[in-house]
Chain A
């Protein structure tokens, strides 16, 4: 398979994305390098084939969003909504990520080597997110399914109104959101953590993480709660 380089100082993002969208399952193994991304939005969104896209530099908003079976590596930071709504495949940010990373992801793995901003994994629907650094406030808000591994600290209101997603945090949690609680790690959690850390190339003791899951008290309307949760 030929390897191609797109220079975004010369070529529009739409030309890069059109090329990527024309690839099919048979073009598996192809590697695309993107240079001079210069913070452009929508780089490599909507991949639907097992191509590998390597972005050399900082990406703008929604990089690798809606990814399906592709692999997007960003050798720099990523703006708002990196890997949002991804279905499968891998998005790997080697720097930091801004707000709303992995929002609403249905599947796949989002790896962020540095810190992630606020609302990381908001409304997660089945994807996995591994953050090497810390996450900002309101992360995993209303996360429904999937797993989040946070190797640093978490900000305020972690896992607010959590459904069935499970969060693992190694550092400090500034505060838990409504209906989120710390639970004991089970053997299945240790095995899941070991697997996710290994896939992300991170070396942490799985036993050093805390598990955060839903207390499930918000699942049903409680007329006596008087709007206090």
Chain B
């Protein structure tokens, strides 16, 4: 079991309230996923900076008091790049004016205990172990702003409860995926992708789906074609919710084993595993509420 939530605001005024509207959605899915939580928020482009990199220090000792300022200073010194830092506890977002691969390689060499959560022009990513309420308060989810977000509450069934195995998973840039369900062929997918130089961070089944779909997108498939190939290649039970800089996308396996419900108004599209995570949203009584059909592709653009 796990909980999925997604929110895309159509009304620009609501962008400032994205996090505030989402926190009760995430907490509403606590029974479905009490062990970890996370979310990816898409904020629009990174302004003057080329890329944003979300980084997690909770895997190293004393990670909550990690010296992020020191790392930012060293990065500036050694790579001669312009950097802005937004840090809280075990989490930091570096906005860099350089090739993010060079920055990430430097981080990996100098601070191998740090875990890269996401890279992109628009995406910021947060995930950690703890109840959804704890994780939401740890990172001030209520204050997040942006156009759309993808969130997840985890009840681990396939792999261990660790921060890096929490969702969302990311691959490449500005792409993330959350999953309710379990895949039966993640190792087959890995064996297919690893020879192509695709690196996996964990043994988690969801990571295989995330890396497979991002690989298809990178190979030139549009989202629809990539998802079609996903239906052919990914075996198991799933509701997947994915985020790109301009869209949320949802698919369910042919048996619709895992739930999903959508509420749409003129102001927003909200997705959750169950209606109880949508009940608090403004105007919900007049929203178009429906269940997405199995094996159909749903894409909502900002």
Contacts and interface: CB of A to CB of B under 8 A. Distances in A.
Contact of B256 (A36, A39, A57, A117): A117
Given A99-B256, A118-B255, A79 B294 contact: no
Contact of B276 (A40, A80, A136): A40
A163 B43 CA distance: 55
Contacts of B274: 39, 60-61, 79
Nearest to A59: B275
Contact of A77 (B254, B275, B280, B293): B275
Interface in B249-302: 254-256, 259, 261, 274-280, 285, 289-291, 293-294
Interface in A175-205: none
Contacts of A38: 275-276, 279-280
A80 B279 contact: no
Q: Secondary structure at chain A's binding surface: helix, strand, loop or mixed?
A: loop
B259 A80 contact: yes
A96 B290 contact: yes
A41 B28 CA distance: 12
A136 B256 contact: yes
Contacts, number: 48
A77 B256 contact: no
Interface in A74-106: 77, 79-80, 95-96, 98-99
B21 to A, nearest CB: 15
A137 interface: yes
Which of B256, B278, B280 has the most chain A CB atoms inside 10 A of its CB?
A: B256
Interface residues of B, number: 18
B291 A98 contact: yes
A80 B259 CA distance: 9
Nearest to A37: B279
A78 to B, nearest CB: 10
B290 A39 contact: no
Contact of A60 (B276, B280, B285): B276
Given A99-B256, A117-B256, A118-B255, A60 B294 contact: no
Contact of B294 (A58, A61, A137): A137
Interface string A201-228: 0000000000000000000000000000
26 contacts: A36-B279, A38-B275, A38-B276, A38-B279, A39-B274, A39-B275, A39-B278, A39-B279, A40-B276, A58-B279, A58-B289, A60-B274, A61-B274, A77-B289, A79-B259, A79-B274, A79-B275, A80-B259, A95-B289, A96-B291, A98-B261, A99-B256, A99-B259, A117-B256, A118-B256, A118-B294
Nearest 9 Cβ contacts at the A-B interface = A39-B275, A38-B279, A39-B276, A58-B275, A118-B256, A39-B279, A39-B274, A38-B276, A60-B276
Interface of B: 254-256, 259, 261, 274-280, 285, 289-291, 293-294
